[in-house]
Amino acid sequence: MSEPYTPTSRTRLVREPQRAVYDRAVAYEILDEGFICHVGFVVDGQPFVIPTGYGRAGDSLYIHGSAASRMLRNLDQGVAVCVTVTLLDGLVLARSIFNHSMNYRSVMVLGTAVAVEDPAEKLHALRLLSEHILPGRWADSRQPNEKEIKATLVMRLPIEEFSAKVRQGAPIDDEEDYAFPTWAGVIPLELVPGAPISDPKLDSAQEVPGYARNYSRKKRG
């Protein structure tokens, strides 16, 4: 079991506190199943939210900087960020409109992200990111060269201040609404991989590898 975690005033859930989870193990399970995060940062008082890939190494997140140059322009001592990962599990149809909801699992990590400068750590982070998104792919690919490593931005964010929020299961209606004559339940939703599509320029001798044919996030638990 993971150590207990005490939320700060910034990560204590305000709305629907019954859905709050402050257990590190639960948060890490969510972070490990997801692979797209939404990174929030502030420039001149204006918030920006950008989707990007990430990976977890122990109590740190590595965030791919593909879309982060706007953020990194002002980066010297690190930048205040919020990294949010959301897994959508279903639509929850209650009898009343008011009690309609979604099943989901989300994690929000607050903190100061710093750019990874050391080329060895950056390579390590890129490998971790790649293996997080698609285990097995790194070894099959042409490895990054020095110039490419230099051109790639990676940020490191310690997972210190965080909260998770989880809603699962059937709708919960007000007692007097259970007699209302309508269907109620859950429409499950899942991010499902399709059959891999080979690059038209592919040498036909190359077969689809197992990690592409049997891709699944669920197996990673």
Using CB under 8 A as the binding rule, the residues of this chain from 56 to 115 that contact a second copy are 66-70, 80-84, 86, 88, 90-91, 93-98, 100, 102, 104, 106, 108, 110
Q: Is 58 left (phi over 0), alpha (psi -120 to 50) or beta?
A: left
Give the separation between CA 58 and CA 60, rounded to whole angstroms.
6
What are the distances in angstroms from CA 212 to CA 33, 143, 208?
Answer: 17, 19, 7
Residue found by looking up tokens 């990174």 in the block: 39
Name which of 51 and 119 has its Cβ closer to a second copy.
51
Residue 18 in contact with residue 11, Cβ under 8 Å? no
Residue 117 in contact with residue 154, Cβ under 8 Å? no
Q: Which of 2, 16, 119, 168 binds a second copy (CB under 8 A)?
A: 16
Name which of 6 and 46 has its Cβ closer to a second copy.
46
Closest CA relative to residue 106, chosen from 91, 89, 92, 94: 89
Site for a second copy in 127-156 (CB under 8 A): 130, 133-134, 137-138, 140-145, 148, 151-152
Name which of 28 and 37 has its Cβ closer to a second copy.
37
Q: How far is the CB of 2 from a second copy (least distance, A)?
A: 24
Stretch that binds a second copy, among 20-28, 42-50, 55-63, 114-122 (CB under 8 A): 42-50
CB-count exposure of residue 201 (10 Å: 0-12, 13-18, 19+): exposed
Closest CA relative to residue 54, chosen from 135, 130, 166, 152: 130
Q: How far is the CB of 196 from a second copy (least distance, A)?
A: 5
Residue 165 in contact with residue 86, Cβ under 8 Å? no
The site string for a second copy over 160-189 (x = CB under 8 A, - otherwise) reads: -----x----xx-----xxxxxxxxxxxxx
Q: How far is the CB of 1 from a second copy (least distance, A)?
A: 27
Name which of 3 and 15 has its Cβ closer to a second copy.
15
- φ/ψ of 64, rounded to 5, equals -70, 135
Site for a second copy in 187-216 (CB under 8 A): 187-203, 206-209, 212, 215
Name which of 2 and 196 has its Cβ closer to a second copy.
196
Work out whether 121 is an interface residue with a second copy (CB under 8 A).
no
Strand partners, 74: none
Name which of 26 and 50 has its Cβ closer to a second copy.
50
